[in-house]
Structure 1
Amino acid sequence: MVTRLATPPTGRPLVHGAVTCPRPVPGAALRLFLFHHAGGSHLLYRDWEHEFPADWEVCVLDAPGRGRLSGAPLIDDSDELVAFFADELLPWTDRPFAFFGHSMGALVAYELTRRLTAEGRPLPVWTGLSACGAPQADRDPGKPRARHLLTDRELRDWLRSVGGTPDALLDEDVAWRYFGPVFRSDFALVDTWRPELDAEPLRTAVSAFGGSGDPVVGRDRLAAWAARTERFLGLNMFDGGHFYLADHRRALTRRITAAVAAARRTAQGHPV
């Protein structure tokens, strides 16, 4: 049975489980779901709802262990996290929708699209994959060793080198005692991800995004998403590193809007 979502008072966010909708839009033409990076939360996308068309409903998600779900056990297995989000999104897929995920969030968005396909459920009209390399058979020589196995000092130093994490969180032992386990759990999920290398290409249109100076994921790995979908809408590169999106929100959201529009225009003959 699918839970019916309650309508909040005008101007109030709608929160339901892992999903927060900062600006509910009655009769929305499309819902855009945004998935966060390892160690992060929906706050990565704070105020993004203002950058998209007025008839879009932007929904930000939290994995267990953060935000309103801070009391829930962390999930360090990709299949389990994807299954969790598949259940959480059941009440929200009653209209056209799209996915965008950054880093770990892109892994989740990709695997969630695959899961929905396998279950015969409605599919996103478009999936955007940011700062995450496509599955490949050989280990990337540039990929760091399993981050969830690093010492606290090594892990904090690695996070500093990548950027995107406030210095106060990495420098303060009290803050690290709280957030360190979240990073370690999320990196265990990413580091142990074993994608199905011979999986059928997605029927959903896909776009890839990345930073030209990203030390974690190179351009070739991002471009390799073209082989994982029947409709690759292109690779979008921006100046910056792994968290390039912090400096390019307006340009990035415009490209997301254009990509979703293009995916919907070309959807005829590719039922989703």
Structure 2
Amino acid sequence: MFGITGSLAAPWWTGEPAPLAERSLLCLPYAGGGPQTYRGWGELLGPSVEVLAMTPPGRGRRFSEEPCRDLPSLLTSLADAVPRTPQRPYVLFGHSLGATVAYELCREIRRRGLPMPEGLVVSARQAPGLPWRFRHVSGLPDDEFTEALRELGGTPEAVLAQPDLMSLLLPALRADFAIVESYRHRDEPPLDVPILALAGTEDDRATAEQMAGWAGRTTASFALHEVQGGHFFVDTQADAVTGLVSDFL
């Protein structure tokens, strides 16, 4: 079961109770994703790690809530929830959009003077400050937006092929891509948090070269590893990804 832990103080996090865990891994999803990506990670990482995955507004049990369409409004609520959630030291993991959210969440936590994570894992996301090289899709008509999702991958064809289902999902999907497209990095001092960067060997949206710049975002240690696969290797290479995360932890 991948349910809601009884200790959670906010609706943001989904996970399994891990009473023997030494630290928590807080996982943030890619655009259009949700906690299902991290289902089974607790078993892969073992009992010493509590895996908690973010459920954004407009998804899953929060379907009735209005999705966030910009990063500042998302961070305000998320930063309120994070320090109350882990019952132990924590590390942030984010894939694609989730990497940007995790990084900016670290900076917001620092601005508030709250307990910082022990580490940050950024996966399949080019370094902050690099220009966005892809067309904006969040405002496209429904059929063109759906086709853009199909080209990107990550959304099952069985879902894309159901217009009624897509009509329910489109507001949250568009909101995620609006966050991606409106994001503008603002310079601040580097984080004093170790960073692990993961790049897909076949991912042209965030190559290893484009991710190497994450090294400049921390005064602590930095490591970059490649994982076999395209942009959504987090779904197809769970064993490899969790192995690298485990070594980082």
TM over 0.5: yes
Say which one has the larger Rg.
Answer: 1
Deviations 1:26-47 (A, max 9, x none): 2531011011111111111111
- Give secondary structure in 2 for the equivalent of 1:38: coil
| Conservation of the 8 A alpha-carbon contact between 1:93 and 1:122 | no
Deviations 1:216-269 (A, max 9, x none): 222222111011111243111112111012221111101001112xxxxxxxxx
Shift of 1:13: 4.5
Tell me which residue corresponds to 1:148: 138
| Conservation of the 8 A alpha-carbon contact between 1:162 and 1:215 | no
Identity %: 33
Deviations 1:188-219 (A, max 9, x none): 011001111x2111111101112121132222
Is residue 24 of structure 2 the alignment partner of residue 31 of structure 1?
Answer: yes
Matched letter for residue 21 of structure 1: G
Shift of 1:126: 0.6
Q: Of the candidates 251, 255, 272, which is equivalent to residue 244 of structure 2?
A: 255
Is residue 50 of structure 2 the alignment partner of residue 57 of structure 1?
Answer: yes
Tell me which residue corresponds to 1:213: 202
In 2: Cα distance, 1:81 partner to 1:135 partner: 18
In 2: Cα distance, 1:158 partner to 1:216 partner: 14
In 1: Cα distance, 2:149 partner to 2:161 partner: 11
In 1: Cα distance, 2:3 partner to 2:190 partner: 39
Superposition TM-score, scaled by structure 2 size:
0.93
| Conservation of the 8 A alpha-carbon contact between 2:200 and 2:226 | yes
Tell me which residue corresponds to 1:123: 116
- Give 5+ residue unaligned stretches, structure 2: none
Tell me which residue corresponds to 1:6: none
Q: Of the candidates 63, 73, 76, which is equivalent to residue 69 of structure 2?
A: 76
Matched letter for residue 19 of structure 1: W
Give the number of equivalent residue pairs.
245
- Give secondary structure in 1 for the equivalent of 2:138: helix
| Conservation of the 8 A alpha-carbon contact between 1:31 and 1:57 | yes
Q: Of the candidates 180, 188, 193, which is equivalent to residue 183 of structure 2?
A: 193
In 2: Cα distance, 1:13 partner to 1:135 partner: 32
Matching of residues 1-272 of structure 1 within 5 Å: 13-14=4-5, 16=8, 17-22=11-16, 24-136=17-129, 139-140=131-132, 143-196=133-186, 198-260=187-249
Deviations 1:84-130 (A, max 9, x none): 11112232244210000111111110000011111111111010001
- Give secondary structure in 2 for the equivalent of 1:79: helix
Matched letter for residue 18 of structure 1: W
Superposition TM-score, scaled by structure 1 size:
0.85
Structure 2 CA distance for partners of 1:153 and 1:215, relative to 1, 3 Å: farther
Matched letter for residue 14 of structure 2: T
Structure 2 CA distance for partners of 1:12 and 1:37, relative to 1, 3 Å: closer
What is the alpha-carbon root mean square deviation over aligned residues?
Answer: 1.7
In 1: Cα distance, 2:95 partner to 2:82 partner: 18
